[in-house]
Copies of this chain bind each other. A is one copy, B any other.
Amino acid sequence: MPLTYTIDAEFGPARRGHMQLPHAVVETPVFMPVGTAGSVKAVPQDVLESLGAQIILGNTYHLYLRPGHELIRRMRGLHRFISWPRAMLTDSGGFQVFSLNELRKVTADGVEFRSHLDGSSHLFTPERSVEIQIALGADIVMVFDECTEYPADHGRARKSLEITLAWAVRSKAYFDAHKHEVPWAADLPGRTQSLFGIVQGGMYADLRRESAERLVELDLPGYAIGGLSVGEPRHLTREVIESTLPHLPKAKPRYVMGVGYPEEIVEYAGMGVDMMDCVLPTRAARHGLLFTSEGRLNIRNRRFAEDQGPADPECGCMVCRRYTRAYLRHLTAAQEPLSMVLNTIHNLAYYLDLMKAVRDAIAIGTLPSLLARVRAVSREAAGDNTTVL
């Protein structure tokens, strides 16, 4: 049995719900920290648990190359390999090989690419991607898709969409034939992974609609909107999400891949998105960019050198309870490894607490004021000349 999804409260198009997955129940809307190579960078798993991370991502491309999916299969799956008892999702590798640019070649069969580690040649097909994802054993797995580049004209976006649809059919066929091979099959009898479809179609509403409608015919347990965060302006991201959501089944979880800034994730949740992921809070942390209730702080800034306040006076995370901005500024300026650890913990606390506030706001009907608050500090932050990653 794949996931079951239940709506618990609604506020306009937004919904609060929960997904029953093989390893855990996940409350939605949910933000999923990215753990590219089997680790949310610099953060131990017990800290992720204490921060309230419900589900984390793994990257098929990275884990296939190192340590290899066959090794992880022998270790009885990614959950056990990295000691993560809660839910996981793996992407299909489509976005990563798309990002390789010079190192890849797309054919009807799949994508040939060279490893960024050693230059070796590899082929990902829909079947291969799903085979790897079954070996990894995440609770949610993704169809292999072609992430359409931006900009792409209507003809190119249609062609790319057709590839993705054909690959979704092949992904599903392989998944249905092999899903019982997941390494934890015997430990969680009756449970299976859930294969999600991915809507493509560039920035064209008609193609997005067609992509969604044809994917829905496959009756998958959840749907993602892909091909965003590829360089388009933010208003286009929102328009694509807005025009696509009505064509996805209300009774199934809806996932927007690769977003976003705090004000974006609150807004998209308000539009009816249930799941989001982004490297932003973790990557920004490693560059010294902190998200706070007062806006974004570039903690390297000289003005924090003697600031004895916490990173965020409204945050109760272990970093804000113990350390000052002055200390975080010193650690970051001195490139101490602890700066990665502490900055990342705080940013994840901010994102995960914000998403909890979104769930509560949907239940009690206060989402507009929450969004207004987050937008207000975001505008102030925009005047702060912080690094945008």
Contact = CB atoms under 8 A, between A and B. Distances in A.
Interface in A309-332: 318, 322-324, 326-327, 330-331
Contacts of A286: 337
Contact of A67 (B71, B82, B305): B305
A334 interface: yes
A330 B80 CA distance: 14
A183 to B, nearest CB: 13
Given A71-B305, A71-B306, A41 B322 contact: no
A42 interface: yes
Contacts of A318: 44, 46
Interface size class of A (residues with CB under 8 A): 35 or more
A330 B71 CA distance: 11
B66 A330 contact: yes
A308 B341 contact: no
B66 A333 contact: yes
A37 interface: yes
Interface string A69-82: 00100110000011
Given A67-B333, A82-B327, A322-B83, A341 B42 contact: yes
Interface in A33-72: 37-39, 41-46, 66-67, 71
Given A71-B306, A75-B308, 14 more contacts: A37-B336, A38-B327, A41-B336, A41-B338, A42-B337, A43-B338, A44-B338, A44-B341, A44-B342, A66-B330, A67-B334, A71-B305, A82-B327, A83-B324
Interface of A: 37-39, 41-46, 66-67, 71, 74-75, 81-83, 286, 305-306, 308, 318, 322-324, 326-327, 330-331, 333-334, 336-338, 340-342
Closest 7 CB pairs of A and B: A42-B337, A39-B338, A67-B330, A39-B336, A37-B334, A83-B322, A41-B337
